[in-house]
């Protein structure tokens, strides 16, 4: 049920004062502190992830930045996988250093490098499926490294969703989602959520409520609607992505395809162990011919939309270097494995054969 109220009245001043002091648990006072619809969304996601509690935010980036700021202070250092969403990369390398929090980026598969970097660090961060090259992180190994170093292990599970992976079962302490993606699932809301234990979340809540980047009740209601169909959507999206990846992998106009379950790929074993044999609803590929041909290719698409998001009902494609990872320099793009022809495709709920036909005609038209 949607409760859109921003503030709540009380019958007596004593109850009002008590609820205002406690913020949560003694009655609803102000939606920046707590709201019934937002509480329902948080409880639903916590249950999906197997976490004790959850805290919702106005966006995925609000969830990520508040997590970093609540867990770290000036002089601290975060160790993070190099394979990250461009916004997260910018927070770690450009924003947090202004406040004395540094970041060490290491390839997600370089476990020895991560172990060495964790000496003296305050937090380990990665994505279950890295954006945009769709690389699966070995969560059990990383969880053990974080535990040995005595630091919290934070995992962004947006690309996998709790349908394919529950990182807490593999050693994560904290799980983050952009609710805009698979949780919401309809390209009509912006939101984020952090799942974890009360000690971690309580400290984060204090900061979150002062910063004010809270999820709106209406967006929480939309996300609850999306969660009702998340398993069906993720399974269909994943099946379509796998089928498309196999077709593109054999096409002369494609220099490379990045998807965990491709035969011979390095991620197949991890996908089998952590993702139930699925690869997720997003794939990536390099269009032969560089940026100019890639632009022609994307403009020739008729069914797939050129838009910057994923995990929804419609298939969306982006050119990573000019849309999702503009925060990276040319050298950093090269280091992250993002070429001039690199495209990220989020597969929606359309007919799989229609999507394949659209991709093939666009490759032919742009050749």
Give catalytic residues, as residue numbers. Answer: 32, 85, 156, 181
354-360 long-range contacts, CB within 8 A, separation 24+: 354/303, 355/240, 355/244, 355/303, 355/304, 355/315, 356/243, 356/244, 356/247, 358/301, 358/302, 358/303, 358/304, 359/244, 359/247, 359/248, 359/301, 359/304, 360/247, 360/251
Residues 6+ apart with CB under 8 A from 184: 191, 219, 222, 223, 226, 311, 312
Sheet with 102-106: list strands edge to edge. Answer: 53-57, 192-196, 174-178, 153-156, 123-127, 77-81, 102-106
CB 148 within 8 A of CB 280: no
For residue 173, what is the DSSP state? S
CB 131 within 8 A of CB 324: yes
Structure tokens at 240: 């379509």
Distance of CA 139 to the CA centre of its chain: 15
- How far apart CA 165 and CA 49 sit, in angstroms, is 8
Residues 6+ apart with CB under 8 A from 99: 69, 74
**∠ CA(17), CA(21), CA(27), 5° rounding?**
70
């Amino acid at each position: 049920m949607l409760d859109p109220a921003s503030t709540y009245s009380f019958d007596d001043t004593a109850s009002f004062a008590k609820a205002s002091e406690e913020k949560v648990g003694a009655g609803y006072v102000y939606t920046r502190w707590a709201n019934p619809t937002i509480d329902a969304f948080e409880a639903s996601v916590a249950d999906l992830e197997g976490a004790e509690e959850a805290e919702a935010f106005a966006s995925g980036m609000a969830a990520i930045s508040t997590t970093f700021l609540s867990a770290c202070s000036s002089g601290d250092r975060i160790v993070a996988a190099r394979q990250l969403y461009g916004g997260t990369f910018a927070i770690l390398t450009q924003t947090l250093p202004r406040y004395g929090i540094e970041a060490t980026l290491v390839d997600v598969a370089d476990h020895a490098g991560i172990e060495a970097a964790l000496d003296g660090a305050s937090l380990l961060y990665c994505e279950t499926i890295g954006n945009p090259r769709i690389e699966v992180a070995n969560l059990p190994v990383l969880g053990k490294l974080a535990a040995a170093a005595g630091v919290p292990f934070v995992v962004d599970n947006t690309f996998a969703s709790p349908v394919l992976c529950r990182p807490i079962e593999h050693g994560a302490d904290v799980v983050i989602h952009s609710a805009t993606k698979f949780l919401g699932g309809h390209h009509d809301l912006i939101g984020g959520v952090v799942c974890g234990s009360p000690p971690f979340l309580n400290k984060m809540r204090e900061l979150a409520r002062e910063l004010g980047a809270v999820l709106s009740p209406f967006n929480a209601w939309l996300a609850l609607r999306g969660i009702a169909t998340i398993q069906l959507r993720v399974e269909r999206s994943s099946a379509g992505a796998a089928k498309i990846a196999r077709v593109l992998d054999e096409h002369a106009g494609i220099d490379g395809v990045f998807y965990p379950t491709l035969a011979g790929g390095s991620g197949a074993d991890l996908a089998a162990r952590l993702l139930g044999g699925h690869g997720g609803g997003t794939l990536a590929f390099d269009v032969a011919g560089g940026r100019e041909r890639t632009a022609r290719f994307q403009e020739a698409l008729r069914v797939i939309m050129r838009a910057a998001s994923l995990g929804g009902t419609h298939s969306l494609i982006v050119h990573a270097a000019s849309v999702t990872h503009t925060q990276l320099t040319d050298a950093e793009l090269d280091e992250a494995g993002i070429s001039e022809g690199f495209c990220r495709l989020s597969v929606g709920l359309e007919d799989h054969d229609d999507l394949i036909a659209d991709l093939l005609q666009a490759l032919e038209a742009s050749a």
